[in-house]
């Protein structure tokens, strides 16, 4: 009797083992390299919650072509040197079919090259450097989120609507990112008739911005464009309010005022305008469900990173099902020109540069949330395809 | 002995001579132990390369190649710390300069392995001369802080220079052909490039091993042990330190030149403080002043980081704890510990020490 039961137990174990190996062979492995440590760790957590959430939902609904989606995480650390090595591990050892979750733009470019050399595909949902789908585009890299250029042109289109020939004053931190963000917006705004009232660069981490307020007041701008971030934005916006410089519209890039620094500035950022592709208030049925579910899982409000990362699995699923395979070349062909439903609206992957085209919004900060003001057509915001690699 | 006229001069002299002979004998045993460790290291590396090459592996071979490259940076830390007694907190600067120089040469001048090696040596010598002239004027903690500052400044400048790719770094570095005349391989051939890097590291290691036994190497140790005494022996400590600094920066820069061939990109992060501290940690884990220790340390560190990183996201804490354990229980590092065991054993064999 005992012998019988052990035999049965052994058989049962053998059967489960066989079952699991069979199931493993059929799993679709998706690798993710979000930053779990370093300056972008909070974004890394958002990425993990969004991917876990969507993978569970897809698996509950039968997976991709009946195959289960398995996520394999490695810490990208916001360091390209570490991330390239870990990407190679994901491709070579874990044998992932697809990679996502990269944040730091330089890291996305370096890891994209690893993907290219391993003949696998990468899609970023956060990195916004124009180079990724511009002059340094790669046949193996796709971008689901809007590029920096799309953000700038959407905001410039809003500014042109706000006042014809608006006088814009620019203020940013004195380093490459601060300057290039301003240059980007300025180019787009001036194309649409805006004029420059002045341009100043403060040292990164400046304590006092009031020294610039005299010339700013004298220039009488209609709009102040800022490319500051983090605590710099807190000081700048608080001081502008203290000095009563409130008769101009405050606008800036999407990193200027975020949930990270919003609490520190009281209501000094009230009415601040930026551009983006996401707000929890964009009225689609999918968004309503998503925003609630995400908040319950992550204990924070859903943001653009959450929405784009959540939808990257839908993008991949649609492409694999269209290709009928996980083979990189077939999936790439399927991804080109693919249209799918994102959380807050339709996205179309442009075949020429692998940039997802999507409607953009001018977003106004009211209370603690960004409210969509005006929709900007995705095609218009994206501008021409500048990639010449294929 | 000079102030004690009553003692005959011959007795202490012979005692001193015996002590010197004993010290010399002990040092020979120590180096013999390290030489065995280095033979084990290089033989093990060759066996690993052959075995994994035949297996057709990619990831572990390339990870090992990276460990060797970072091992050279640790070697350069060891020249400064283990021989001249100088703690550099910015050794990644010279690694990064070599890497950027290599990347630019490969992208814009010529896809030549040998040209990159030549240019990275040149960059290492020049930047080492400049950095050294600034840093060695200070001693101790001030020296360390200056090396740290120099690395931070240059990394920030590159971070903000659009022509060098700014924060995005430089990608799209072509895959080079490495030709030795009789044999050639490509940088994307995992086993082939592993052996190329192994050969470069072996040459650097053997060169340093030779140097450590020359009067120059001895004089450097003299600077570490008692810098103030060196002028009385006719040496100029500043010149010795500058020579060590330039040697170290050149080796770090050569390692830098190899990096973009392996990974295909460079970015300002290569020069960050993290990269410098990794080299110091590898040196300390392996054993300061042992030359082969830093190579062992680098292999251990790179593989541990990769493995722990997969298991937990708190890998920095694990590495930190490991470092503390080594510093507390094996202050001379793993190879330093091995050396102590060998020496202790040889003493008991001789029938007891002093």
Q: Are the C-beta atoms of A383 and A133 separated by less than 8 Å?
A: no
Per-residue model confidence (pLDDT) at position A4: 52
Residues of chain A above pLDDT 90, percent: 75
Does residue A226 share a domain with residue A308? no
Whether A240 and A350 share a structural domain: no
Beta strands in chain B (DSSP E): 177-179, 184-186
Interface test with B, best of A81, A102, A139, A389 (most B CBs within 10 A): A81
Structurally, how many domains does chain A consist of? Answer: 2
Q: Are residues A53 and A135 in the same domain?
A: yes
Token pair listed for A25: 């062979």
Does A15 share its domain with A140? yes
Q: Which pLDDT band, with edges at 50, 70 and 90, does A41 fall under?
A: confident
Residues A140 and A158 in one domain: no
- Residue to test with chain B: of A80, A104, A172, most B Cβ within 10 A: A80
Mean pLDDT score, B319-330: 87
Determine the pLDDT at residue B3.
44
Tell me whether residue A365 is in a domain. no
Please report the pLDDT score of residue B129 as a whole number.
97
Note the pLDDT of residue B4.
43
Q: Which residue has the tokens 């440590």?
A: A37
Domain for residue A389, yes or no? no
- For residue range B95-153, list pLDDT tens digits in order: 999 999 999 999 999 999 999 999 999 999 999 999 999 999 998 899 999 999 999 99
Q: Sorting pLDDT into bands at 50, 70 and 90, what band is A8?
A: low
* Residues counted in chain B: 354
Q: Check B169 against A131: CB less than 8 A apart.
A: no
The pLDDT value recorded for residue A22 is: 45
Is the Cα torsion angle B265, B50, A87, A337 positive or negative in sign? Answer: positive
Whether residue A316 sits in one domain with residue A286? yes
Task: Tell me the two tokens of residue A107.
Answer: 């890291």
Looking at residue B43, its pLDDT comes to 97
Q: In this predicted structure, what is the pLDDT of residue B349? A: 62
Cβ–Cβ pairs < 8 A, chains A and B: 89
Nearest to A151 by CA among A386, A358, A365: A358
In 3-state terms, what secondary structure has residue A31? Answer: strand
In a domain, A247, yes or no: yes
* Pair A234, A290 in one domain: no
**How large a percentage of chain B has pLDDT more than 90?**
67
Two structure tokens written together for B1: 């002995």
Q: What is the mean pLDDT of chain A?
A: 90
Show which of A241, A276, A311 is a domain's final residue: A276
Range of the domain at A234: 150-276
Q: Does residue A76 sit within a domain?
A: yes
- Measured in degrees and rounded to the nearest 5, phi and psi for residue B178 equal -110, 120
Q: In 3-state terms, what secondary structure has residue A43?
A: helix
Partner-chain contact A75 B274, CB within 8 Å: no
Give the mean pLDDT of B282-297: 94
Q: What is the pLDDT of residues A88-107, one digit of tens each?
A: 999 999 999 999 999 999 99
Q: Verify whether the Cβ–Cβ distance B267 to A112 is below 8 Å.
A: no
CATH of the domain at A253: 3.40.50.2300
CA angle A217, A223, A229 (to 5 degrees): 95
Q: A384 in a domain, yes or no?
A: no
pLDDT at B344: 83
Closest CA to B283 of B270, B272, B297, B271: B297
Write down how long chain A is: 390
Mean pLDDT of A324-350: 96
Whether residue A234 sits in one domain with residue A176: yes
Closest-CA residue to A307 (of A246, A354, A370, A248) = A370
- Higher per-residue pLDDT: A98 or B181: A98
Q: B217 near B211, Cβ under 8 Å?
A: yes
Which residues from chain A sit within 8 angstroms of residue B306, using beta carbons?
Answer: 85-86, 89
pLDDT (tens digit, 9 = 90+) per residue, B222-235? 999 888 899 998 89
**Can you tell me the distance from the alpha carbon of A284 to that of A60, in angstroms, rounded to the nearest whole number?**
23
Per-residue pLDDT reduced to its tens digit, B245-260: 999 999 999 999 999 9
Identify the band that residue A266 occupies on the pLDDT scale cut at 50, 70 and 90.
confident
pLDDT over 70 at B1, yes or no = no
Average pLDDT over residues A335-349: 95
Mean predicted confidence (pLDDT) in A189-210: 91
User: pLDDT by residue (tens digit) across A14-27?
Assistant: 444 444 444 444 89
**CA dist A198 → A170, A213, A218 (Å):** 6, 11, 10
- Specify if A5 maps to a domain: no
Q: What pLDDT does A78 receive?
A: 85
Angle, helices B92-104/B273-286, rounded to nearest 10 degrees:
120
**Closest Cα of chain A to B54: distance in Å?**
16
DSSP conformation letters of A159-190: HHHHSTT-EEEEEEESSHHHHHHHHHHHHHHH
What ipTM score was computed for the predicted complex, to two decimals? Answer: 0.85
H-helix or E-strand containing A70?
A: strand A69-73
Q: What pLDDT sits at residue A272?
A: 95
Q: Are A269 and A347 found together in one domain?
A: no
pLDDT of residue B12: 52
Let me know whether A142 and A288 are in one domain: yes
As a whole number of angstroms, the distance between CA B267 and CA B260 comes to 10
How far, in Å, CA of B10 to CA of B189, rounded?
66
* Residue B238, C-beta contacts closer than 8 angstroms, at least 6 positions apart: B136
The string of DSSP codes covering A345-364 is: EEEEE-TTT-BEEE-EEEEE
Question: Could you say which of A237, A256, A276 is where a domain stops?
Answer: A276
Looking from the CA of A289 toward its CB, the CA atoms found within 13 Å total 9
pLDDT of residue B13: 56
Same domain, A142 and A154: no
Q: Which of A11-20, A129-138, A248-257 has the lowest mean pLDDT?
A: A11-20
**Sheet strand arrangement including A98-100:** A69-73, A28-32, A98-100, A121-124, A141-143
- A interface test, pick of B270, B299, B307, B313 with most A CB neighbours within 10 Å: B313
What percent of chain A shows pLDDT beyond 70? 94
Q: How far apart are CA B337 and CA B168, in angstroms?
A: 43
- Angstroms from A74 CA to nearest CA on chain B: 6
A345: left (phi over 0), alpha (psi -120 to 50) or beta: left
Q: What is the pLDDT of residue B74?
A: 97
Q: Tell me, what's the pLDDT at B301? A: 93
């Amino acid at each position: 009797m005992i012998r019988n039961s052990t035999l049965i137990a052994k058989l049962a174990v053998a059967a489960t083992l066989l079952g699991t190996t069979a199931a493993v062979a059929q799993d679709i492995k998706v690798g993710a390299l979000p930053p779990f440590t370093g300056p972008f760790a909070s974004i890394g957590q958002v990425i993990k919650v969004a991917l876990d959430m969507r993978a569970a939902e897809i698996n509950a609904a039968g997976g991709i072509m009946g195959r289960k989606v398995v996520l394999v995480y490695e810490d990208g650390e916001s360091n390209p040197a570490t991330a390239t090595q870990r990407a190679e591990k994901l491709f070579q050892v874990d044998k992932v079919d697809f990679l996502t979750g990269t944040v730091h733009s330089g890291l996305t470019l370096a890891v994209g090259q690893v993907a290219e050399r391993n003949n696998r595909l990468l899609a970023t949902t956060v990195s916004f450097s124009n180079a990724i789908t511009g002059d340094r585009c790669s046949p193996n890299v796709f971008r689901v989120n809007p590029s920096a250029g799309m953000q700038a042109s959407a905001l410039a289109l809003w500014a042109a609507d706000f006042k014809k020939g608006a006088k814009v004053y620019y203020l940013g931190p004195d380093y490459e990112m601060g300057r290039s963000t301003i240059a980007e917006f300025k180019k787009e705004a001036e194309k649409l008739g805006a004029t420059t009232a002045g341009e100043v660069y403060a040292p990164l981490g400046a304590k006092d911005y009031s020294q610039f307020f005299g010339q700013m007041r004298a220039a009488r701008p209609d709009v102040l464009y800022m490319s500051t971030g983090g605590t710099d934005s807190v000081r700048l916006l608080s001081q502008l309010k203290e000095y009563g410089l409130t008769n101009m519209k405050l606008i800036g890039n999407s990193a200027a005022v975020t949930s990270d620094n919003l609490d520190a500035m009281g209501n000094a950022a009230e009415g601040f305008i930026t551009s983006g592709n996401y707000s929890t208030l964009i009225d689609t049925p999918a968004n309503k469900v998503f925003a609630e579910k995400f908040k319950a899982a992550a204990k924070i409000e859903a943001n653009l990173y959450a929405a784009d990362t959540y939808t990257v699995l839908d993008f991949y699923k649609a492409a694999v099902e269209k290709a009928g395979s996980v083979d990189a070349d077939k999936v790439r062909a399927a991804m080109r020109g693919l249209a799918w439903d994102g959380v807050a609206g339709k996205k179309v992957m442009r075949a020429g540069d692998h940039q997802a085209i999507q409607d953009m919004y001018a977003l106004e900060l009211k209370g603690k949330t960004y409210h969509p003001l005006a929709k900007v057509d995705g095609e218009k915001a994206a501008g021409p395809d500048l990639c010449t690699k294929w | 002995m000079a102030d004690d006229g009553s003692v005959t001069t011959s007795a202490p002299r012979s005692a001193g001579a015996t002590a010197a002979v004993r010290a010399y004998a002990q040092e020979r045993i120590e180096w013999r132990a390290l030489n065995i460790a280095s033979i084990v290291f290089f033989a093990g590396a060759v066996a690993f390369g052959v075995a994994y090459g035949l297996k057709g592996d990619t990831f572990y071979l390339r990870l090992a190649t990276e460990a060797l490259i970072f091992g050279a940076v640790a070697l350069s830390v060891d020249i400064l710390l283990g021989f001249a007694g100088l703690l550099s907190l910015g050794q990644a600067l010279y690694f990064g300069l070599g890497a950027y120089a290599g990347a630019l040469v490969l992208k814009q001048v010529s896809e030549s392995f040998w040209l990159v090696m030549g240019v990275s040596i040149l960059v290492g010598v020049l930047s080492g001369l400049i950095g050294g002239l600034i840093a060695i004027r200070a001693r101790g903690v001030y020296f360390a802080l200056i090396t740290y500052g120099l690395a931070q400044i240059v990394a920030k400048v590159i971070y903000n220079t659009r022509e060098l790719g700014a924060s995005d770094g430089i990608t799209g570095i072509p895959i080079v052909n490495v030709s030795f005349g009789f044999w050639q391989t490509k940088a994307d051939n995992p086993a082939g490039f592993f052996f190329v890097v192994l050969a470069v590291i072996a040459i650097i290691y053997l060169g340093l091993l030779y140097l450590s036994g020359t009067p120059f190497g001895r004089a450097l140790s003299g600077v570490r042990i008692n810098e103030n005494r060196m002028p009385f022996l006719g040496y100029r400590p500043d010149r010795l330190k500058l020579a060590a600094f330039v040697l170290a920066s050149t080796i770090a820069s050569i390692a830098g030149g190899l990096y973009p061939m392996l990974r295909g990109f460079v970015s300002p992060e290569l020069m960050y403080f993290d990269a410098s501290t990794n080299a110091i940690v590898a040196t300390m884990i392996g054993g300061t002043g042992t030359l082969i220790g830093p190579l062992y340390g680098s292999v251990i560190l790179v593989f541990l980081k990769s493995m722990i990183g997969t298991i937990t996201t708190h890998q920095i804490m694990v590495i930190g704890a490991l470092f503390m354990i080594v510093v507390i229980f094996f202050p001379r590092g793993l190879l330093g510990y091995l050396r102590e065991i060998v020496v202790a054993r040889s003493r008991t064999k001789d029938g007891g020490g002093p």
